[in-house]
Structure 1
Amino acid sequence: MRSLKLLKPVLRKLNKTHYSWISQRVKDQTSKLTLLQRQLLTNLDPVTARLEHEERSKWQMLIAAEEKFYRQKSRVLWHHLGDRDTKFYHKTVIQRAHCNHIHFLKTENDVVIGAFEDIKAHSVDFFASTLGSTSLPESPCSVGQIQDLLPFRCSDLQCCYLKRKVAEVEIKNTLFAMPLDKSPGPDGYSIEFFRSSWRLKFKDEPDINFNDWKDDKGFWSNMLRKNRKVNLFMIRTKLLHKCNKWTYVDMVRLVYMCVIHGFLVAKDSRVFIPHEYIRLVMDFEKMRMYPWGLHAYDELLASILKARKDLHLKNSYVLDGFSYAFQIWVMEAIPDIDSMGELFPFISATGNNDVVVSTEFYRENEKKDERVGRIVTLLNAKQDWTEFVWEVEALPPTLELSDS
């Protein structure tokens, strides 16, 4: 149910964007299609023919959506496929709305009540007086007295059958036996939605509070409790020399923080780590269940919008959600991206498209790779990558790629 509730705003936005005022959309699309068809009759042009084909497909989609909309409203089950009967639909919808509407009520004294609020208040008072009310915590009638009123008894087999767990195949058979054009239920979803998305079902996510955390008196708990800030630069220069005195769990959390902030979300080393991430690593189970892929994607979109907005103010930018290595590869593998402006497709400290080779980035026991050295040499030589042939090493025949 939680997943369906989260899906509702998305579907509501989709419906509002593409299918709101469906009848008016059909009229506008019909006019557009008619104009293109008239142009084709006077001048047979391939471009116009292609546009007519595209607009006709869109028109057919809209009239199908309009037909489903009015079919649900009218509740006509014997509707002929392909026969729109739009006037009939409108008349049936108006008739149903007129029949189901309560125009007025009469009281015991034959007083006519027509106002909406008065009708509601009178209805509540009527059923309250009819059904009565009690202040007793439980009914004074015993189970035996109620059983005397109902002589029928289910057999033991029937009782077991009623108490058994409903099988998934029974739910599917019942759902697929229902008409597609039935009106949506209380949850707002139609039978057609469940049948079309049946293969996409998944186990419902548990209702987890990702912001909740347990204080274990460790380093990261103190960070949260005292509202302190930390970034990857501080971890590299200060905390790595002190973490050997921490608990084993806090050291594991440190590794997770570096992976999440530096690689997964790919933030700069001097950007402070949000407390949201620290709260997540306090519970490894919640951290594994968190949708990190969606979060990294949102970070990427936000950074793209920010870079596009401020691109005229500076000559370089960084995209969050992608590691630097991946950004460098994208810039090199897709030369056409240079048409977006003056971009620096590799790490540059001066802005002159030079590759940084500095002792600041050197680490102990670091192994040199000749292939990386050759690429750096080519970059410094302003290599044209548009027609560059990359060397590819084939995998051994016994080696298989697998996600496991």
Structure 2
Amino acid sequence: MIHYLEDEAPWRSKIGEAYGHLEKPVVDTETEIDDIVYKRERKPPPSLKSEDLIWDEFRSNEISIGEFKSPVLRLSDLNTVYYFDALQVAYTDVRYTINKLTENIPGISEHGPLLISGIKKFRDNAWKLSQAIGGYRKSTYQVPGRLKQRCKVLRKELIKVKPKDKWIVTYRSNSPTGKRIAELWLYFFEMLGNDVKDIHEKTYEFKMEVAEAIQERRDLQNILRALEPRMSKEAQKRKWDNFDFEKAYQLLQRLSGKVDIDPKGYEDLLLSRITDTHEVLSTADSQIKSVIEKLRKSIDQPENLSETIDVPPLTEQIKVINELIEGFEGEVAWADAKKEELEKRLQGKVQGSQERIIAYDYVLGGHDWEAERKNLEKQERERMLDQSWAPGGGPIDDYY
């Protein structure tokens, strides 16, 4: 929720107007990501990243540039849409493949109706999940663009605070200039907190869709196991072609994963993305709340010197915002390039064919892309964080 201050200055309402069309509805429901469908092996605690170290080393009487940047930078980790592009195609193909298998069910088999009913439920849910993946992909893809726009608005308003030749000064939050800067960042982080709640709710809803699809896959698997010996015996007795249980099992194993060969099926990839998203949101939410609390105290109690804080010079703030904007532009370009690459790999390949499966499995395997992406992200993050802490880190880019 956006908490307006009493007796707020006229410029504050103008900031509200500037941000207004970007604001999203508040989600009050608190959600948690847990393993509803099955227990997954818990990952070891991730090693502390450099921005986390910076976050832990701030002093109570100041607000560091790292505290401003870290929550925003953390949310950029949500951009894994190239996984969802491939997974959406994979689940779309599931419907086609299972339909082809259904054509081979003996029409006069006494077990045929039960098998057809189970397949139909599974097929319809796979299609439903493919649509849900597309919707969640869209909401995830919009995150860097929305953050970029928010940062642009913030930068525009910060530039108005003082002439450029005054940007190198550090202000106290109980000064008029320091208070104005603190209120701008407070408004920014309040809206960012609303975004986190919104994404959290969408992630929870998406997790429910995945859980339902996993249950439908399990139900069909149980039906196949129950009917296979009966239908095989029936086909042998009546001398007709039996339903291709082997291909059906292969399809389901692509979803669930093969225990000894490839434990990471499509379902595990989806759940991994959900768990990773939850971790990102939880960390960002904690950092955002910490910054908001600090800013509110410094603004609401200016007479209490113990609550006032040193605000980083505008030159550092605007430099960081420029870097974040540039980074978000790179995130969007990366996602677009990966989608284009997937489309090229799928071009001309028959739906449900092995060649098509190889094309999107290559993306999901992430052999080249994932290593490249992680390496580039690590280098970029270290560069940005190093620069943010370097005193007088050179001239700021002239983006305005």
TM-score (ref. length: structure 2): 0.21
TM-score (ref. length: structure 1): 0.21
Which of these two proteins has the greater Rg computed from alpha carbons?
1
Relative contact order (C-alpha < 8 Å, sep 6+): which is higher? 2
